[in-house]
Amino acid sequence: MTLLTDQAVEVAIDTACRTLRLPTIRERAAQAAATAAREQHTYQGFLAELLLAECDDRDERRRARRVHDAAFPRPKRLDELDYAANPNLNPAVINTLAAGDWVGKGRPLCLIGDSGTGKEKNIKEFTSKVITLDKYSDCLEPIRNGDAQALTTDNVILAGLVDQNKDEFEVIDYTFTEEPYGIGLKKGDDDFRSFINDVLEAAVEDGSWAKAWENTAGTVLPTPEPPPVDRY
């Protein structure tokens, strides 16, 4: 076994935790080690404390991702909405859409793109009354005049439409599919992929990722837990 300096130990732990995707252990290792030494924990106790912390945080991140994937709007309750401050919001319409009963009743839903696409197939598992149009903005008027009850697409696109039409529409907590975004690059370009992963992780750690979200989609949607970087 090779003896390592304190600095080398810190670098080794940091590198290993990044490789194994153990952010909580990477963050708490030094403090946990100091506490273990001070309180004379056993090696097994020290390891158990770190592993349990990682598991607890992972469960919390998983819960947060599920909330995010459900596309919940900014945290609030329907009975707390101030309709007097938003006269364009119809309480009856909001409550009906939030309940999701319109899906079971087969009310019209507006989609973007050509008919026969995968997204239309997914939606038609819930309702056969689907309107397909060319542009997102084309769906707004059918909703306004009652020809359609809702528009479905990516939640960040919906957030943009809501932001552009203040107090007129709202993103509700109803999700049909989960379709994560990704970044495409040339196959086999491992260096560039690692660079992108490093930039994403740095943005999460220094808060710029959350700030970018809050300045854009975050004006309508809650800030989600950052997805873990998939290193391979």
Residues 64-76: tens digit of each pLDDT: 777 677 665 555 5
* 203, pLDDT greater than 90: yes
User: Per residue in 148-170, pLDDT tens?
Assistant: 888 888 888 888 888 888 778 88
Tell whether the model's pLDDT for residue 211 goes beyond 90. yes
Q: What percent of the chain has pLDDT over 90?
A: 10
* Phi then psi dihedrals of residue 173, to 5 deg: -85, 70
H-assigned helices in the chain: 6-20, 23-39, 43-69, 91-99, 101-104, 118-123, 140-144, 155-164, 190-206, 208-214
| Domain ranges for the chain | 6-69, 87-164, 180-232
Higher local confidence (pLDDT), 94 or 221: 221
Task: Give ∠ CA 82-85-89 in degrees, rounded to 5.
Answer: 75
Q: Among residues of the chain, what percentage have pLDDT more than 70?
A: 77
Highest mean pLDDT among 77-81, 127-131, 202-206: 202-206
Mean pLDDT across 18-33: 86
Q: Give 224's DSSP letter.
A: P
Architecture of domain 87-164: 3-Layer(aba) Sandwich (3.40)
Of 6-20, 56-70, 146-160, 205-219, the least confident = 56-70
Note the pLDDT of residue 168: 85
| CB burial string 70-107: b at 16+ within 10 A, e below | ebbbeeeeeeeeeeeeeeebeeeebeebeeeebbeeeb
pLDDT at 116: 44
Residue 56, number of CB atoms within 10 A of its CB: 11
Element (H, E) at 132: strand 130-133
CA atoms within 13 A on the CB side of 193: 12
> Is the pLDDT assigned to residue 88 strictly greater than 90?
no
Predicted pLDDT of residue 229: 83
Name the 3-class secondary structure at 42: coil
d(CA 43, CA 37): 10
